[in-house]
Amino acid sequence: MTPEFNLIHQFFTRPTAQTDLSIGDDAALISVGNGMQLAISTDMLVAGTHFFADGDPYQLGWKSLAVNISDMAAIGAQAKWATLAIALPDINDTWLAAFSQGFFACADQFDVDLIGGDTTRGPLNISVQIMGEIPIGKAIQRSGAKVDDDIWVSGNLGSAALGLVHLQNKTHILGNALPVCLNALHMPTPRLGLGVALRDMASSCIDISDGLLADLGHILQASNCGATILLEHIPCIDYLKQDLQNARTQHAILAGGDDYELCFTAPKTKRAAIQMLGNQLGLPLSLIGETQEKSGLHVMHNNQELTISSKGFDHFG
């Protein structure tokens, strides 16, 4: 277990008495009657860690909500309500107007109501709690993958990570790829329609926030199986695809994080239905490998197994 997950396990995980699904998944589940469960999750964005303090406030407002809606998508819940706890160094009307516009643009697009929160003075810090609904028994948990399931990924991976590396001046993205990568980093699209549609197709699901290997690793650990994936089958923009031999490119695709795409497993019998769903949603869904009994997550490239140095982002790694 990585340090971050170790500390959550050691200090904050204990048995619960009135909860259907507690710590360990993308959202918790509680029964609220009417055959429905409430799905709840929270994600915090800290200046200097998750975003540049002088970054665009509209994009920050969008992203604060989007990354939370992404956790609803990951469990297959319909996002409905959010609360916003925000610490601000001072009152800046221009900043607040843009931030709230971005937040509500996302709320409007995904039909989420902002219903409360908390406001204090302090170093810029944004903490959103999201709540959604799902019929009892329909949630797609991390623990549901079976041996010999297909492993799927939505959209493209690695663009957001590449955008970040560019902003850190560690690389220089040329041409059309630059706006694509910066948009992926700043304005992620939560795959809510996909998550809801996968309720009856996927055996497990997670949203990729910390990198494919780390997040798929959570599915494998919870489901007690291993997997092999093929690097050349992982969807990414041409700019990255042309450069797959490069260790930095491999890292962006496999471990970069901030993609907010869904990684899910499904029985092979669902293959045609999933391909059709991708067509209906206008969202590419790519088959990247399969689960297996043999433990561990193995990444193949040109028929050889890659040795991976970093699996993804850990706040205390």
Where along the sequence are the contacts to ligand ADP (CB under 6 A)?
8, 12, 23-26, 43, 71, 209
H helices of the chain, in order, are 3-7, 57-75, 93-109, 159-167, 177-186, 192-197, 212-223, 238-241, 247-255, 271-281
| Partner from ligand ADP, Mg ion, none binding residue 222, C-beta < 5-8 Å depending on class | none
Alpha helices in 37-154 (DSSP H): 57-75, 93-109
Residue 24 CB, shortest distance to ligand ADP, in Å, is 5
- Other Cβ atoms less than 10 A from the Cβ of 316: the count is 9
CB 44 within 8 Å of CB 8:
no
Q: List 300's β-bridge partners, or say none.
A: 230, 305
Give how far Cα 114 sits from Cα of 94, 285, 305, Å. Answer: 20, 31, 47
Nearer to ligand ADP, 12 or 316 (CB): 12
- Which residue lies nearer to ligand ADP by CB, 26 or 259? 26
Radius of gyration for the chain, computed over Cα atoms and rounded to the nearest angstrom:
19
Binding-site member from 25, 56, 150, 207 for Mg ion (CB under 5 A)? 207
Nearer Cβ to Mg ion, position 65 or 173? 65
Shortest-Cβ-distance residue relative to Mg ion: 26
CA pair distance 175, 138, nearest whole angstrom: 43
Contact stretch for Mg ion (CB under 5 A) within 14-22, 125-133, 206-214, 228-236: 206-214
Question: Which residue lies nearer to ligand ADP by CB, 56 or 71?
Answer: 71
Q: Select 71 or 261, whichever has its Cβ closest to Mg ion.
A: 71
Q: How near is the Cβ of 253 to Mg ion at its closest, in Å?
A: 19
Determine, following the binding rule CB under 5 A, whether residue 149 of this chain makes contact with Mg ion: no
Contact 289, 235 (CB under 8 A): no
Only one of the segments 133-141, 163-171, 173-181, 200-208 lies at the binding site for Mg ion (rule: CB under 5 A); that segment is 200-208
Q: Which is nearer to ligand ADP, 180 or 185 (CB)?
A: 185
Q: Of ligand ADP, Mg ion, none, which one sits near residue 23, judging by CB under 5 to 8 A according to partner kind?
A: ligand ADP
Among 25, 56, 71, 261, binds Mg ion (CB under 5 A): 71
Ramachandran category for residue 99: left, alpha or beta (phi over 0 → left; psi -120 to 50 → alpha): alpha
Binder among 25, 26, 150, 290 for Mg ion (CB under 5 A) = 26
* Binding residues with Mg ion: total (CB under 5 A): 3
**What are the DSSP calls for 189-227, one per residue?**
---HHHHHHGGGT-SEEEE-SS-HHHHHHHHHHHHT-EE
First CA to last CA distance, the chain = 10
Binding residues for Mg ion (CB under 5 A): 26, 71, 207
